[in-house]
Structure 1
């Protein structure tokens, strides 16, 4: 059994999806030997206790190649990875890609980066008879033709697909992928344990992101980032003026620069930065807060899972869909155009309805847990048909 993706690379949401799938495998298939082909093998091996192999042969894969040697190294790496990926896939009966937005380009993405790696995985699986499962993944319309082609081929070659929202399934259907048998379930991170945390009255968690727009916004990336940073900083400053304690959270290693910029601009002991190193740590912080305002998708998932009233600084349709699904569709604000005054009005409205919101989230979280039970039962039936499972075998895919 293999798991595949940009895991252990600093993105806490990706690692949370891995943790959820490992929890399922250890509970339902404890004899399965699991290893990973991933972005951060040292982190995955030490944190999750499974053997892990580096995703790319060329170690400078994610550094900009400007010198001839680096360009040649990247090019050679693409060829070597064909054989490395196939050799790894061949050792497995099943490979799971756990969640993540592997079929989207809502953030800057090059076709020869992860889309190429995913295509190698799915093509190798089809050629070598290894079942590749895209489990609870995100998808979105992609304008760039090479990226769209690789994503479409990867999806078609996979033996199993399920999505974290109907927008994702619709996006794949629009590319020509037959999604008639593909299921839709809540994000895998909703399967993680809900933390118990000591309350910290009056605290507002603000989840920030090194946001520069999407794949089609490269020409305006710095302008988009500046507007996002200025608006978010003004909002934090307004919270401090009201005497509120603010806890800055991240979801990826690259977000640290945004935290530092806000701390420099809002020089107040009321503003502190979290050192959370996992999705579980983030969830604990959010469970202890009165309110959460967050940008990254899995920051939102953590806050909603914790049952804390949440306002989304939405950078993609997936964030809006998640908030709508959890009953908080009215509390979305565009990350590309953060208006601190309007955001503060939405924030105050959310706090006014906090008790009602917490009840709504409790109900939606119970339903999400039931749906994810069906997701894992479906996965067992499809990928491990001869393996006994403690989950109901009659479970059907959600929202077919």
Structure 2
């Protein structure tokens, strides 16, 4: 689409935003920061999972992603199944109408091209395909910016993801394994770039913003049940993860270390409750962070962080705190390697508390050295994201980019 003379460029943001996942919302915040600093003239609104939250928190108009409000609840009754099916049909027209109102639609970060957590093809993959297909048909440029991708076993999900990627006008990834995964699905990625996760573009809180008690360890937990291919073993994987993490927290408390539990999504609450119940010590407290900025303040106050969720790791690494990953996907391993801590990954599916304690102690012995490494890697991440945003401007806002260069070249 081409805006009329004098009309602002209309930009939509799309995704499971405002739905309780702090990482998703942090990616949105980073893209909004880019738009407001480099393109303050654009008009922005959202099609998202939690429109009330997005509108209140970020000050942009927002529309609900799905017509059927029970989209992500399991439908067992005939009426609910029929309503969900009708919703899929209605969403075709709702999505198309929303897309046509925009010149550009940005999908900000998130693991939208992966299934590292349980995922049904007719859920978000279907929604993303509708977005990209209607964008291509209507001439609206759809940009997948700094997204995550991974190999997908389910054929229907893989097909929807592959076609979504093919139909997008612009793609960039948050790590090299993501680009490799999309290439392996048969998508030409020759022109696609890899940059650090969008969250690295967010402001870093001052080191003195929230000092913690001596020896504080932040432990980021997750309602982890394995990936999309682990449904048959989901409860066993969860039980092993919870037991190993609980034993690790108990061992820290036995040494007199204060422990602060972190989450990254509303669904993580039961894991926190289970650990509190099992350990039952005043040394164990719970963070109430509601944003990545809040998580960064928590992790900056700690001596060391051990975390599962991807954006818990990013927050800790971004503020320069030595971090150990309970890794559940290649994205975590790639992130840790890029930041110079590749040796400090432990499998979330097989948490061994004794081995985890050994790795934790080895990490702490190198604390001063690793803090220097993280300072260097964070500077590089910021510079690479600046390049990402410059490239994005050239791809999505060519008129603005041309005007910017003309101004710089004027005598």
TM-score class, shorter-chain normalisation, is over 0.9
Assess if the C-alpha contact under 8 Å between 1:377 and 1:391 holds in 2: no
Report the counterpart of residue 235 of structure 1 in structure 2.
248
1:367-389 deviations in whole A, cap 9, x for unaligned?
A: 00000000000000000001148
In the alignment, the residues of structure 1 paired with residue 398 and residue 373 of structure 2 have an alpha-carbon distance, to the nearest angstrom, of: 37
Assess if the C-alpha contact under 8 Å between 1:295 and 1:312 holds in 2: yes
Alpha-carbon spacing, 1:21–1:392, altered in 2? closer, same or farther (3 Å): farther
1:47 to 57, 72, 75: 57
Q: Give 1:215 deviation, angstroms.
A: 0.1
Assess if the C-alpha contact under 8 Å between 2:220 and 2:307 holds in 1: yes
Report the counterpart of residue 396 of structure 1 in structure 2.
none
Give the TM-score taking structure 1 as reference length.
0.97
Give the TM-score taking structure 2 as reference length.
0.95
User: Is 1:110 matched up with 2:126?
Assistant: no
Assess if the C-alpha contact under 8 Å between 1:111 and 1:150 holds in 2: yes
2:387 to 374, 385, 391: 374
Report the counterpart of residue 397 of structure 1 in structure 2.
none
Alignment of 1:193-232 (within 5 A): 193-196=203-206, 197-200=209-212, 201-232=214-245
Report the counterpart of residue 201 of structure 2 in structure 1.
191
2:330 to 287, 300, 317: 317
1:43-84 deviations in whole A, cap 9, x for unaligned?
A: 000000000000000000011100000000000000000000
Large movers: runs of 4+ above 4 Å: 388-393
Alignment of 1:287-326 (within 5 A): 287-326=300-339
Please give the secondary structure, in 2, of the residue aligned with 1:34.
strand
Q: CA RMSD in A?
A: 1.1
Q: Give 1:392 deviation, angstroms.
A: 8.1
In the alignment, the residues of structure 2 paired with residue 139 and residue 354 of structure 1 have an alpha-carbon distance, to the nearest angstrom, of: 31
Q: Give 1:198 deviation, angstroms.
A: 2.9
1:32 to 25, 34, 42: 42
Report the counterpart of residue 172 of structure 2 in structure 1.
162
Report the counterpart of residue 77 of structure 1 in structure 2.
87
In the alignment, the residues of structure 2 paired with residue 122 and residue 63 of structure 1 have an alpha-carbon distance, to the nearest angstrom, of: 25
Assess if the C-alpha contact under 8 Å between 1:28 and 1:389 holds in 2: no
Return 5+ residue gaps in structure 2 as ranges. 1-10, 407-411
1:289-321 deviations in whole A, cap 9, x for unaligned?
A: 100000000100110011100000000011000
Report the counterpart of residue 344 of structure 2 in structure 1.
331
User: Is 1:357 matched up with 2:370?
Assistant: yes
Please give the secondary structure, in 1, of the residue aligned with 2:46.
strand
Please give the secondary structure, in 1, of the residue aligned with 2:342.
coil
